[in-house]
Amino acid sequence: MSENPDVIVLKEGRVARLRLNRPDRRNAIAWTMVSNLIEIVQDFERDKSIEAVVLEGTGEHFCAGGDIRKYIELVETPEAFI
């Protein structure tokens, strides 16, 4: 599992908590977070001790959706998709 400060993983017994950690952007999801979240969930699928996953946001907002500014950067640099 790669380190990404934008996604915090907490394990509490059989429950894993995924915390979106971009409160300054209302926890909007950047492309790097998507790939990191996929990797984390795949790790949870292999970990038989995890029975539930809670997705939450840091601060006052859960998630504002996709971070359009970050996705625009990808369009301006198409090689980022590779």
* Residue 1, in any domain of the structure: no
* Residue 2, in any domain of the structure: no
* Residue 37, in any domain of the structure: yes
Q: How many domains does the chain have?
A: 1
* Residue 65, in any domain of the structure: yes
Q: Which two tokens stand for residue 52?
A: 């539930």
CATH number of the CATH domain containing 63: 3.30.300.220
Please give the residue range of the domain that contains residue 51: 7-81
| pLDDT, one tens digit for every residue, the chain (82 residues) | 456 799 999 999 999 999 999 999 999 999 889 999 999 999 999 999 999 999 999 999 999 998 888 777 767 776 665 6
pTM above 0.75, yes or no: yes
pLDDT at 52: 98
* Residue 66, in any domain of the structure: yes
Cβ count within 10 A of residue 30: 20
pLDDT at 27: 97
* Residue 49, in any domain of the structure: yes
pLDDT at 32: 86
Q: CA 57, 42, 20 angle in degrees (round to 5)?
A: 10
* Residue 77, in any domain of the structure: yes
